[in-house]
A = this chain, B = another copy of it.
Amino acid sequence: MPKISIKNQNKVFEYIQGKNLLELLVENNIFVDNPCNGKGLCGKCKIRLIEGNLSDLSETEEKFLKEEELRSGIRLACLVTPYDDITIEILQKERKHEILTTGYIPSFEYRPSISKRVVEIKKPNLDDQTPFEDSLCRAFDIQHIDWNILKQSEVTYGIVTGVFNGENLIGIELGDTSDVLYGIAIDIGTTTVVTALINMNTGEEITTASMINPQKKFGLDVLTRITYELENPKNAKEELQSAIVNSINDMIEDMCNKTKIDKKHIYEISIAANCTMMHFLLGIDTSSIGKSPYVPVFSRSKNIPAKDIGLKASVGARLYCLPSVSSYIGADIVAGAYVCGLHKALENVLFIDIGTNGEIVLSNQGKMLSCSCAAGPALEGMNISSGMRAAEGAIEDVKISEKGIELQVIGSKEPIGVCGSGILAAVKELIRVGLVKKQGAFIKKEKLESSDYRYDMINLDGSKREFILSENPERLLITQGDVRQVQLAKGAILSGFYALLKKAGIDINDLDKVIIAGQFGAHLPVDSLVGIGILPEEVKDKLSYVGNSSKTGAYMALMSQDVKGEIEDLAQKMDYMELGASQGYERLFAECLIFPS
């Protein structure tokens, strides 16, 4: 079999001819950024051919690759098919991301679903041949025992500790173990997964772990992954499920190793996630989420044996999945709405989670209405010419003034790309200094005096205008196309915002509070949000940030049975409006595309 050698990673693997290079690399767990999931649409999966031959250069590659890149052997992995031994170089490094794990937690009473009870089980004898099952029932004063308990437990007598989920016995431990009881709270995002190990006796968050959602290799966004599942009906459901389950298991293992806690003492795993991630997690078909009328298979909460999906904790551990509202208002948003108290708000509060999908919930004194807007990945730095995720080397803030362009780079390194907050800051500045106009077009270079400090910032690539963000170590541009991506995202979110207010009959001036939730939103300053017009000027002073409220919701559900009930109730009560189906939405969207002047 022919071989592929990765020179700068010292890896070699054999392959069977027929698949494209990207597929082969992904199969071999070699990271290549491919936001469009190998559709030839994003031009990101660049690799450098060092030795050997690849299929001929395609038109698409010519479009995406600069002449200089072509000369140095750069190709797009998804568009080339190797047929012989080759040696290549991988150009992107998988970078350590900064993932937000904390946030605001309201005070609440700890009353977990999981509890322990210590009893003594009498040893049988020839005059009392009570079966072990009946001895357990008698000792714990319960009517019924799940047969899994009988299968898992040693027949044991004397002091034992029963672990209960509500009234159901889910575990038996030898001796008195009432002082050890752990749980896991998880937020599964499309991009990142955040896990916390919780002492369920005290509520303390002992440690956390986080990682990039490993499903990214099946597509960066929800729809690409659903499409992957549709196109691979045989294995995809299992691949997507085991990708996330395995990484959760890895994180649990890591946290337990680090803290010397035995994972057999973990009895509940509480998870918030968007609706699609929840379907993937349970291995449930997502195809109906991906197409109109966008109906999920389920939105209710689930409380099932964790082992049934392969999660590794105590054998009897439970998995609690928070409820969603609809395909595009998931448990992450429900969790956030609960954490922010939207269900019992006395004012008019708007909750917004900005990401690839922008989810907005408006609470009109507790009456909740939600919508979801397809913002696209631009706000997270994706589908942007120099875009990258928030990691070392990413430009995260930009200031343009007569003194030039001032950049703030994560890790104070040389800039190698621009992340979501960076692209927003850049566009906001371009608007502020007049380089980008209301309608989103770059100003014509000839309209600027050559003495204008802005003159040299604009580059002309043929007739295309672009902004030179940085020249060192490589040229980073904001293209007209990039501005359009941001503009579409802005239009999507702002129109959702207004549509909700309109449907609820609330004037923007009657809005008391706007809460920005989520990992990504926490990095978006008010200036950028309002400066670009993602949010209107009127709410500028009403903004607050709540952090990863999804994980917080999962944590609260873990620590309280009552919270579970209240969250389920909240999800039931939250209304959802499908923007695409609402009257006049297209006109509203067009209006919302206009940048502030």
Contact = CB atoms under 8 A, between A and B. Distances in A.
A277 to B, nearest CB: 16
B576 A297 contact: no
A581 B327 CA distance: 65
A288 B578 CA distance: 61
Given A126-B581, A147-B304, A151-B284, A133 B298 contact: yes
A155 B578 contact: no
Interface in A278-293: 282-285, 287-288, 292-293
Contact of A147 (B126, B132, B282, B299): B282
Interface residues of A, number: 39
Contacts of A294: 126, 129
Q: Which of A150, A155, A285 has the most CB of B within 10 A?
A: A150
A134 B581 contact: no
A155 B293 contact: no
A125 interface: yes
Q: Is the interface of A mostly helix, strand, loop or mixed?
A: loop
Contacts of A155: 285, 287-288, 295, 297
Nearest to A302: B147
Contacts of A326: 129, 131
A18 interface: no
Nearest to A324: B131
A130 interface: yes
Given A147-B284, A155-B295, 16 more contacts: A126-B578, A126-B581, A127-B581, A129-B293, A129-B294, A129-B327, A129-B576, A131-B297, A131-B298, A132-B288, A133-B298, A133-B300, A134-B299, A147-B282, A151-B283, A155-B288
30 contacts: A124-B293, A124-B295, A125-B293, A126-B293, A126-B294, A126-B580, A126-B581, A127-B581, A129-B293, A129-B295, A129-B326, A129-B327, A129-B576, A131-B297, A131-B298, A132-B288, A132-B297, A133-B297, A133-B298, A134-B300, A147-B282, A147-B302, A147-B304, A150-B282, A150-B297, A154-B285, A155-B285, A155-B287, A155-B288, A155-B297
